[in-house]
Structure formats: structure tokens, C-alpha cells
């Protein structure tokens, strides 16, 4: 089965190479790692979680042997705040814009907050995920969130008091 890879051009390599020929891609490719961090950190976490869980649902069993399939969580250490893991750059496939057939899946690697997660998704779903991420990125925070009416206030859900939470749970049981 032919494996094709969907690659997100974080390092602008392809863009620089094909600057003249390709139409301008959206502002999705910062030129530095810090830029990536900023970029990724500005993506609404809810958005990202939705994208990730959607991706997971679609992933198939044929993940290539070389790709890490599990998420690597960051480990907090006592001594210092370690910098997050460096971006996983896949040197194997340098072909840009490979278009697999509609029903074959390819790995989609997402690096977020030091975690590397790989999903196997079909091409159209991958595009959909990228589109969602773009939307979340380009939207000003002041505008209404398209995702969830309850998250208008921002990224942090409003915390509830313990005593009231317990009361609500018990009320449901009655």
C-alpha cells in the first residue's frame, strides 16, 4: 500500500523553494521554533483537542513502523523548567503536496506543547483539520468562538466551587 505523507511546512522550506510558483499559502509557517511555539500556543486548546480527538477517531491500524504513534507527554522536572521537545521533522518524505487517493490514510503529526502525536487520517480529513486550526489561529480572540458557545470567555473554563459542584451532583441523583 502506497504511503503518502501530509506534511505541514513549519520551517518554510518548501515555501522558500517554491516561492515563485506556488500560490501564497496562509500564514501558517513561521520561520523559527519559537515562532512555532507561539503559533501553536495561540491555537485555542479546545480547537486542538477537538481536532486531535477527531483525528484519533479516524486513525487506522496501518501506522508506519518508523513513526511514533503514542503521545509523548512533557515531564516536569524539579530542577529547571525544561524546554519542550524539539519539533519532529520528518526527513523521509520531501515531496510536497502529495495527493493520496480518497480512502487511503496517511500519518498526520501534530506537535503541541511538547507533545508529539501522530494520527492516520485520510487526506480530506487532514485538510479539514488544518482548516479548523487555521480558523482558530486567524480569528481574533474577541470574536465569538465557532466551536462552543460556552467558551466565549476564553481558554480557561470558569472554575466552580467544590461545595456547589457536590450539591449539583447530588441533586442529579435525587
Least separation in angstroms between CB 41 and another protein: 8
Beta bridge partners of 121: 106
Q: Nine-digit cell at 102?
A: 480518497
Residue 56: partners with Cβ closer than 8 Å, 6 or more residues away: 119
CA–CA gap between residue 107 and residue 3 (Å, rounded): 9
154 near another protein (CB under 8 A): yes
Residues 100-129 binding another protein (CB under 8 A) are 113
How many C-beta neighbours within 10 Å does residue 106 have? 22
153 near another protein (CB under 8 A): yes
Query: Residue from 61, 103, 144, 173 that binds another protein (CB under 8 A)?
Result: 144
x/- string (CB under 8 A) for another protein, residues 16-35? ------------------x-
CA–CA gap between residue 54 and residue 160 (Å, rounded): 28
86 near another protein (CB under 8 A): no
CA–CA gap between residue 37 and residue 111 (Å, rounded): 9
x/- string (CB under 8 A) for another protein, residues 39-78? --x--------------------------------x-xxx
Least separation in angstroms between CB 66 and another protein: 27
β-strands 115-122, 105-112: how paired? antiparallel
Nearest residue to 73 (alpha-carbon basis) of 121, 118, 112:
112
Binding residues for another protein, how many (CB under 8 A)? Answer: 40
Least separation in angstroms between CB 104 and another protein: 33
Q: Which residues bind another protein (CB under 8 A)?
A: 34, 37, 41, 74, 76-78, 80-84, 113, 141-142, 144, 149-168, 170-172, 174
Amino acid at each position: 500500500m502506497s504511503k503518502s505523507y501530509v506534511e505541514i511546512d513549519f520551517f518554510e522550506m518548501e515555501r522558500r523553494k517554491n516561492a515563485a510558483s506556488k500560490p501564497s499559502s496562509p500564514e501558517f509557517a513561521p520561520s523559527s521554533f519559537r515562532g512555532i511555539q507561539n503559533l501553536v500556543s495561540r491555537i485555542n486548546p479546545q480547537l486542538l483537542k477537538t481536532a486531535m480527538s477527531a483525528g484519533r477517531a479516524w486513525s487506522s491500524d496501518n501506522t508506519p513502523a518508523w513513526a511514533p504513534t503514542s503521545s509523548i507527554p512533557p515531564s516536569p522536572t524539579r530542577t529547571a523548567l525544561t524546554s519542550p521537545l524539539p519539533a519532529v521533522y520528518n526527513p523521509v518524505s520531501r515531496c510536497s503536496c502529495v495527493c493520496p487517493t480518497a480512502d487511503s490514510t496517511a500519518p498526520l503529526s501534530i506537535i503541541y506543547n511538547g507533545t508529539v502525536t501522530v494520527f492516520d487520517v485520510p487526506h480530506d480529513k487532514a485538510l479539514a483539520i488544518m482548516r479548523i486550526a487555521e480558523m482558530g489561529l486567524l480569528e481574533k480572540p474577541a470574536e465569538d468562538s465557532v466551536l462552543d458557545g460556552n467558551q466565549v470567555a476564553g481558554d480557561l473554563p470558569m472554575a466552580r466551587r467544590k461545595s456547589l459542584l457536590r450539591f449539583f451532583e447530588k441533586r442529579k441523583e435525587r
